[in-house]
Structure 1
Amino acid sequence: MRARVRHVRHGLSKGRSRTAVTVAGAVLWLTNASQACAAPKDAPLAMRCAEFAGAVLPPELIALPTAGVQIESAAMVAATAPGNQQGGEYCRITGRIKALKASTPDIRFDLNLPRRWNGRALQIGGGGYNGVVVSGTGVMPFSPDRAPLAQGYATFGDDSGHVGDSSLAVFGLVDEAVTNFGYAHLKKTHDTALALIARAYGRPPQRMYFAGGSTGGREGYTVMQRYPDDYDGVIANSPALNFSGVRLMGVKLGQAEYATPGGFIPPQLLDHVYQRTLAVCDRLDGAADGVISDVEGCKEHEAEIIASLRCAGRAPSHDECLTDPQLSTLLLMRDGLSLPYKLAWNVSGYRGYNVFQGTHLTGMLGLGHQAARLPVPTFFANGYLFAQGDGYVRYFVAHDAEFDSLRFDPLHPGKYRGQLIALSQTIGAMNPDLARYIAKGGKLITLQGLADEVISPNQTIAYYEALIDRFGIDQVDAFMRLYMVPGFQHGSGVFIPSVDLLGALDNWVTRGVSPETLTATDIAAATNGRSRPLCRYPLFPRYSGKGNVNLASSFACAEP
């Protein structure tokens, strides 16, 4: 018989966390009449899985306001089922966390409960503007082949509360959906999954982790800042910490390319810029391997590189030199954005990119490939940063699908200033106060490419340095590891690292073994299989001068 649910209100006693209430309440779903038909406490997972199908969880199980949870499906997936490459049987649960308003989309989620559970749970973040349910069944990006689910983790993710691909920002017109995207979906899904896990296994997880990159990286920092008691460890890679800042940066870049005569830079010329920086800086780390590892050393050659790229009396060409407007576009990206007002948490702009230190801007996530701006910019035609920034200004800021972002001034936003500030509070993770997370013993690993063309590596470094200013290097070292990877972009690059960060995090949390230098295997197609040390920031891998240049053992972590 399918389990029935009663809505039980649980008072919050003084000193008792809402998470504790969620776990305690998980055993109270079934009515007395249905207890006889419910799976007994020691029943196999298959029996417990079946009882979830069609169940309704009361709003009281979630710390933030919702209209409850509807379980849509719950079924065991056999180890031999087509498409199941996780190495074992598991219970797959899908459902919706109901919004308060009928006009707000529900939060759709997936939860996977392995028959052989290791006692741990992993919440997985999304990307871009989200909009697609994170299934939690696959391998983590840039990690070895064995998925967390196959390792025994209960895994879960969601769509952040709207439907659409990661480029669509239309949901910005709906206030409750914006709040869900900013932070609320994380807590709502966490509490739902926690209650289901506790019911399925008869106990809550011993450890709760979060892992994500880009938007998912921002989400990782968000849960540490907003819900520090809920997590024991976080992996937050390439984090979009300063979400409003990077979107305004994208608008300024679009204006430089498409609202400034001559500001567009064709892809072949962008490639020339990259090749020139490679020629000057590749060997600074001791190895001619196509990777600029000594980024700080390369910055010392920046004036030389720029001078060699400037047309300066030469006839402009499509692939040999930069005109002044074109150079201004790149210098804008290098310098970042400075605002004459403050966003939330005293943020006054966005840090610039390593444009002349090995960042390749011709890919799908780079600058525009077409000299004409489309009415609705796309990633390939007009550049990732501009396309995403355009949607942000249209829907989140102006609430007007016809708004022209090329006419919007981020420095002097006028009547939109209050909205920009409010949004930066809702969507963003620039709050440096991680005191509660640190005090409870939480751990954090962040990995990012020094050649990232989407999320500025210098913004991530600036946040790390702000933590050191606030807490001191010893306290930051006790809970955080930052790995900045040469040659790695936003998911692509001339070096794409594969490394078991989840294993490193779990070992740190459960055994107290802090990760130091790690070894990453390159999964870039052209150089697949070579390895490099992953050095703790600010160190970088320097070739020893002997040994196989494709082996990490031939490199040592060096001071810049």
Structure 2
Amino acid sequence: MRTSGVRACALAATIAGTLLGPGAHTVFAAQKDAPLAMRCAEFAGAVLPPEVIALPTAGAQIESASMVGATAPGNQQGGEYCRITGRIKALKATTPDIRFDLNLPRRWNGRALQIGGGGYNGVVVSGTGVMPFSPDRAPLAQGYATFGDDSGHVGDSSLAVFGLVDEAVTNFGYAHLKKTHDAALALIARAYGRPPQRMYFGGGSTGGREGYTVIQRFPDDYDGVIANSPALNFSGVRLIGVKLGQAEYATPGGYVPPLLLEQVYQRTLSVCDRLDGAADGIVSDVSACREHESEIIESLRCAGRSPPNEQCLSESQLATLMVMRDGLSLPYKLAWDVAGYRGYNVFQGTHLTGSLGLGHQAERLAVPRFFANGYLFAQGDGYIRYFVARDAGFDSLRFDPQRPGKYRAQLTALSETIGAMNPDVARYIARGGKLITLQGLADEVISPNQTIAYHQALVDRYGVDQVNRFMRLYMVPGFQHGSGAFIPSVDLLGALDSWVTRGASPETLIATDIAAATNGRSRPLCRYPLFPRYTGKGNVNLASSFVCTEP
């Protein structure tokens, strides 16, 4: 990371001069071997000038800086570290600050990891815990300097009210990533006397979108990125959420209760579970399962009969599921020639009864909530109210994504500010950056087919060999959006670091299932488009009994 490393040293010297006054450059050089506790204490109350951060801000304020002892209550990181909290000031007083946390381990491995958020963010990412779906030790415990932020507003991940504030929307879309990166990088260089040798980013869902965002917008700042279940087409997933809500709540008979959704899932399993050679509760051969889709749908259709004990679906209920399966096509283009959103694997093993699935309540709440009215609709409703219409009282059930009228320009602008669909990643490839993406084939929030489509767009642009040199895509059967029939635990950060530092490109990985009912079994994580097929012999709970196979 030569370019950003040189800049970090310059920024560190700037901070030293700002905080310590005349002669600070000499003091900085002399203090680089001082105990971390001494260096940590000097940050408390410090002010970072605006020139430290490449994007426009009013500077940053360090609110606290203190050592956390290895035996301190709640410290499960296995070592002592300096914890810094701060705020990056917006240009306008009416825009919320970007709150951030930075953790500096006493035993530093020379690397830094920026960690992404989720949903609409709004909560500071502490950076002290284990990476989602990664085993055992947290990155901080491994010696990584870690940092994250709240993306520039306060609230839980379901709240979209900040969409009324232009600067907050820009921060959420991309600017918070660069602003926090620059502030943290300068503080790391100041604390240790040198910048990180390697800078990584890791996140999932919104954090996955953020991972693709930094590759597309700030390629010189990162050596490697983990971007799981990425909300790449952010406007698209919000618009299909609105269409889904309209099918459920604005169409007579369109609501599909959980009992019927369970019937859909069980019917899919009965037809498709064994297509990979193993009856393990996982639909692994999604391509083969799709060939049976018509058969599955017909077996679920009431076909004019009254539903006996809710064992079949009416035409209106099937139409709701088709909205999700078919995706969204738009007669106009969003940023980067995006014209819709890819559909989900509704009839290929996706379970829609969980807290992130479809609605559990037949009536729409005035303000839709995840469990009551479905995750996709609740998030899409907030997007339309606050980001698009910019009217808290707007009724998203009356919004037509295909014919947005006066809102079309706003939709297009938002898709560029927040979306991460730009296929131009030439700069990141040229400087040797690496990317790993893990995505569930049964994801009910982020369509796996949208992630596959972006990967294909890269292949079309750069060729498969070039894409393989910088990217690994692992599509995981049975994995949903944090839950599912198979929840993989795998050391992606270790794989990324080995690829970046030693050139050891990851191939088939081995994941351990952490789903409660099947905890401990293992499966190979196959590079897309391969999937794990049972060999016909050996323990079905062991990855060694499976082989990665072409669809």
TM-score (norm 1): 0.96
Letter in 2 for 1:29: T
Q: Please say if residues 163 and 390 of structure 2, whose CA atoms lie closer than 8 Å, have aligned partners that are also in contact.
A: yes
Counting only pairs closer than 5 Å after superposition, residues 278-427 of structure 1 correspond to structure 2 as 278-317=269-308, 319-427=310-418
Provide, for residues 119-166 of structure 1, a one-character-per-residue CA deviation record: whole Å limited to 9, x for no partner: 000000000000000000000000001000000000000000000000
Say whether residues 1:83 and 2:86 are aligned partners.
Answer: no
2:173 corresponding residue in structure 1: 182
Say whether residues 1:22 and 2:23 are aligned partners.
Answer: no
1:103 corresponding residue in structure 2: 94
Provide, for residues 342-366 of structure 1, a one-character-per-residue CA deviation record: whole Å limited to 9, x for no partner: 0000000000000000000000000
Judging changes above 3 Å, is the alpha-carbon distance between structure 1 residues 320 and 16 closer, same or farther for their aligned structure 2 residues? closer
Q: CA deviation at 1:18?
A: 6.0
Root-mean-square deviation (CA, aligned residues, Å) is: 1.5
Cα distance between partner residues in 1 of 2:55 and 2:382: 28
Letter in 2 for 1:30: L
Cα distance between partner residues in 1 of 2:17 and 2:198: 23
Q: CA deviation at 1:513?
A: 0.2
Cα distance between partner residues in 2 of 1:375 and 1:45: 52
Q: CA deviation at 1:32?
A: 3.5
Cα distance between partner residues in 2 of 1:212 and 1:198: 23
2:477 corresponding residue in structure 1: 486
Counting only pairs closer than 5 Å after superposition, residues 8-47 of structure 1 correspond to structure 2 as 21-32=10-21, 35=24, 40-47=31-38
Correspondence for 2:224 among 226, 233, 248: 233
Judging changes above 3 Å, is the alpha-carbon distance between structure 1 residues 425 and 19 closer, same or farther for their aligned structure 2 residues? farther
Cα distance between partner residues in 2 of 1:257 and 1:436: 44
Provide, for residues 356-398 of structure 1, a one-character-per-residue CA deviation record: whole Å limited to 9, x for no partner: 0000000000000011000000000000000000000000000
Q: Please say if residues 268 and 318 of structure 1, whose CA atoms lie closer than 8 Å, have aligned partners that are also in contact.
A: no
Q: Please say if residues 95 and 109 of structure 1, whose CA atoms lie closer than 8 Å, have aligned partners that are also in contact.
A: yes
Provide, for residues 425-444 of structure 1, a one-character-per-residue CA deviation record: whole Å limited to 9, x for no partner: 00010000000000000000
1:162 corresponding residue in structure 2: 153
TM-score (norm 2): 0.97
Q: CA deviation at 1:117?
A: 0.2
Provide, for residues 176-223 of structure 1, a one-character-per-residue CA deviation record: whole Å limited to 9, x for no partner: 000000000000000000000000000000000000000000000000
Q: CA deviation at 1:314?
A: 2.0
Q: Please say if residues 325 and 344 of structure 2, whose CA atoms lie closer than 8 Å, have aligned partners that are also in contact.
A: yes
1:9 corresponding residue in structure 2: none
Judging changes above 3 Å, is the alpha-carbon distance between structure 1 residues 92 and 243 closer, same or farther for their aligned structure 2 residues? same
Q: CA deviation at 1:318?
A: 5.6
1:122 corresponding residue in structure 2: 113
Q: CA deviation at 1:315?
A: 1.3
Cα distance between partner residues in 2 of 1:356 and 1:333: 10
Correspondence for 1:71 among 59, 62, 76: 62
Letter in 2 for 1:206: Q
Judging changes above 3 Å, is the alpha-carbon distance between structure 1 residues 463 and 27 closer, same or farther for their aligned structure 2 residues? same
Q: CA deviation at 1:27?
A: 3.9
Letter in 2 for 1:288: A
Q: CA deviation at 1:24?
A: 5.0
Q: Please say if residues 203 and 227 of structure 2, whose CA atoms lie closer than 8 Å, have aligned partners that are also in contact.
A: yes
Q: Kindly tell me the number of residue pairs found equivalent between the two proteins.
A: 547
Cα distance between partner residues in 1 of 2:380 and 2:7: 36
Letter in 2 for 1:352: G
Provide, for residues 308-352 of structure 1, a one-character-per-residue CA deviation record: whole Å limited to 9, x for no partner: 000013212463111000000001100000000000000000000
The unaligned stretches of length 5 or more in structure 2 are none
Counting only pairs closer than 5 Å after superposition, residues 239-278 of structure 1 correspond to structure 2 as 239-278=230-269
Say whether residues 1:549 and 2:540 are aligned partners.
Answer: yes
SS of corresponding position for 1:150: coil
Cα distance between partner residues in 2 of 1:21 and 1:162: 30
Q: CA deviation at 1:31?
A: 3.5
Could you tell me the percent identity over the aligned residues?
84
